[in-house]
Amino acid sequence: MKIYKKFVSLLAIAGLVLAFSASAHADKGFYLGGAFGKAYLDENIGGVSIDTDSSIFRFFGGYEFTQYFGVEIGYLDLGTFKDTIDIGGTLVPVSVSADGFTLAGVGTVPLSERFSLQGRLGFYFHDGNTEAGGITENNPSESNPFVGVALAYSLNEKVDLNLGVDYLDTKEADPTMATLGLTIRF
């Protein structure tokens, strides 16, 4: 529940910033988007080696202050990383999952009329779950930094197609994510 209190506080702050910015920069704009893809995990978590992937999705919305800089909030579900480990000759299923909210600054560098390079730097406020043999081992609620880069292709003035890679730095696991997404500008 701590994560939701943090998110509501951050949402309120972001809302105030966006409201102020909307009046100061009416020619810039809001955007909404979504992405899906894969997250890859190759870690040693609590002495257990996990090498697997999961399907992920994220939804996001933001505001561009200029054509070069904006702020973004979103929801990211890392799915469930599942693997089987050998403990004394017995195969034990293990799983790691997390979902939560993101807050990030977004920088954009136009490369041509249709292509641009985007970078994101922010925090992921999430709840996680680790299980081994059906027994919950750990349920962390954390906030961790992440960084991402995406190549965006403008389909038209309002819609961009994005191909991105993000890296999340947590205490236990550091998944790398590859996504394909769509952004709609208002």
Residue 111 is part of a domain; what is its CATH number? 2.40.160.20
pLDDT for position 17: 45
The HSE-up count of residue 185 (CA atoms within 13 Å, CB side) is: 16
How many domains are there within the chain? 1
Q: What is the pLDDT along the chain (186 residues), one digit of tens a residue?
A: 455 455 545 545 545 444 443 333 334 799 999 999 999 988 776 666 778 899 999 999 999 999 899 999 999 999 988 888 877 788 888 888 889 999 999 999 999 999 999 999 999 998 888 787 777 676 767 888 999 999 999 999 899 999 999 998 877 678 899 999 999 999
pLDDT for position 87: 77
Domain that holds residue 147: 2-185
pLDDT for position 9: 54
The 3-class SS string of 105-160 reads EEEEEECCCCEEEEEEEEEEEEEEEEEECCEEEECCEEEEEEEEEEEEEECCCCEE
pLDDT for position 18: 43
Collapsed DSSP state (helix, strand, coil) of residue 18: helix
H or E element, residue 15? helix 2-24
Q: What is the DSSP letter of 85?
A: E
pLDDT for position 104: 97
pLDDT for position 153: 96
pLDDT for position 126: 87
